[in-house]
Structure 1
Amino acid sequence: MTKTVLFWRHGQTDFNVEGRFQGQSDVPLNDVGRAQAEDAARGLADLGPELIVSSDLSRAAETADSLARLTCVEPVRDKRLREAAFGEWEGSTRAEVAATWSAELSEWAAGADIAPPGGESRSESGRRVAAAITDIVESTAAETVAIVAHGAVLRGAAEILLGLRGTGRIGVLRNCAHGEFGYTGGAWVLRSWGAVAR
């Protein structure tokens, strides 16, 4: 049986607007983000998710709740789906990070697989979330699963599951955009990426 797996990024937060590293800080949706989630949920509900699993951080959980209300599916929270930990960079803009960690930020921005001080590298967070998603999908009989999480880790997990090994070949989903995968017996197929359901 082929399952449909939706990767859905949370709605906008004030940190998104300000260009701050959010990481595992629990930053809530702002008013725009709540509206984005409600709008996108209407389109995703048409796909009939039977299981909704979100990061336990409030911005993803609230986004998932907007879909849960329309589908009458009780959402599950899973801390394994949290955003990459950005350590000492969390809460700061790139300019603020550059004042202390200029070389490290330049390497990171160029795609190097380095961890911010006290944080996770791209490959570490991507492997964590890819393993969690695989476990979720393989342990349910649901044919359509919605995974609601965060931009960096959804991208990283997608690349790992597709055998791209975190090469930066897939773009980061914008707020409330989603990707759709088919999953059959351990094989992942990307059907679409970056759409915003309406």
Structure 2
Amino acid sequence: MKARYFSFVRHGKVEGPAALYGKTDIASSIRGRQELIAGLERLHQETPIDFIFSSPLQRCAQTAEEFATHHLLPIFLEPDLQECDFGDWDGVDFNALQNQWPALEKFWQSPLDISPPQGENLQTFYNRINTSWQDIQTQQYCDHTLILCHGGTIRMVLAALLKIPLESPLFAQLRIDYCSHTRIEVSDAAGAKPIVRWIGAPL
């Protein structure tokens, strides 16, 4: 019996003020990129990476492409791995959203029922990510696949695997830090279910 490993890694710290960064194509900070590269090198040494999927947003793609080029690894930029679109709140400094705090609080408490203005519904986000994850599993048969993406993306994959209701406080209780590593194992045994080895571990 053989198992395939999928390493979901969140990008490094971004170059910008505290905000909801979803569709906003903000770059990682210099330190964030350095920490991510160092962590990916350790991961590659421990369990060699065979293939890379990455969100096309530059805070993921820039480092993923640099790492892939250095190690001569195949890479695919998958649009559906992008973070949730937070609409009018996306990329806006929290200090500039003070008049929106009541609405933001309601969103954090009931993300399934309340969507950001002009933003993406949580169910739509979940469906997009889960479809992408299913496609990756069925199309990629390497031993170890790296998926460089976003905190919200990883939460949606975990929600699907662990049957976590979307109305639960996913964003508050599932901690997925910058440069953290979530490992999923998929056995080739008939009827085997994916196993979550760990969640949000430091790289």
TM-score w.r.t. structure 2 length? 0.86
**After TM superposition, where is structure 1 displaced by more than 3 Å over at least 4 residues in a row?**
none
Q: Which consecutive unaligned segments of at least 5 residues does structure 2 have?
A: none
Partner of 1:55: 55
SS in 1 for 2:68: helix
Preserved contact between residue 45 and residue 71 of structure 1 (Cα < 8 Å): no
The correspondence of residues 79-158 of structure 1 with structure 2, limited to 5 A, is 79-99=79-99, 101-113=100-112, 114-158=114-158
CA deviation profile, 1:27-72 (whole Å, cap 9, x unmatched): 0111111111211111121211211000000111123234324532
Note closer, same or farther for the CA distance 1:153–1:48 as it changes in structure 2 (3 Å cut). same
CA distance in 2, matches of 1:40, 1:26: 22
- 1:38 counterpart residue number: 37
Identity of aligned residues (%): 23
In structure 2, do the counterparts of structure 1 residues 98 and 191 end up closer, same or farther at CA, with 3 Å as the change threshold? same
Alpha-carbon contact 2:52-2:147 (below 8 Å) kept: yes
Runs of at least 5 residues in structure 1 that lack an aligned partner in the other structure: none
Return the match for 1:177 from 177, 180, 184.
180
- On the 8 A contact 1:130/1:161 being kept in 2, the answer is no
Distance change (3 Å), C-alpha of 1:105 and 1:186: farther
TM-score, length basis structure 1: 0.88
> RMSD in angstroms over aligned alpha carbons?
1.9
Task: Please tell me whether the aligned partners of residues 130 and 158 of structure 1 are also in contact (alpha carbons under 8 angstroms).
Answer: no
Instruction: State the AA in 2 paired with 1:57.
Output: L
> Larger Cα Rg: Structure 1 or Structure 2?
2
SS of the equivalent of 1:5 reads: strand
1:14, distance to aligned residue in structure 2 (A): 1.8
Moved more, 166-175 or 133-142: 166-175
Number of residue-to-residue matches in the alignment: 194
- The residue that corresponds to 2:198 in the other structure is 192
Tell me by how many angstroms 1:141 deviates.
Answer: 2.0
Q: Is the 8 A contact 1:182 1:191 kept in 2?
A: yes
Q: 1: CA distance between counterparts of 2:183 and 2:70? A: 19
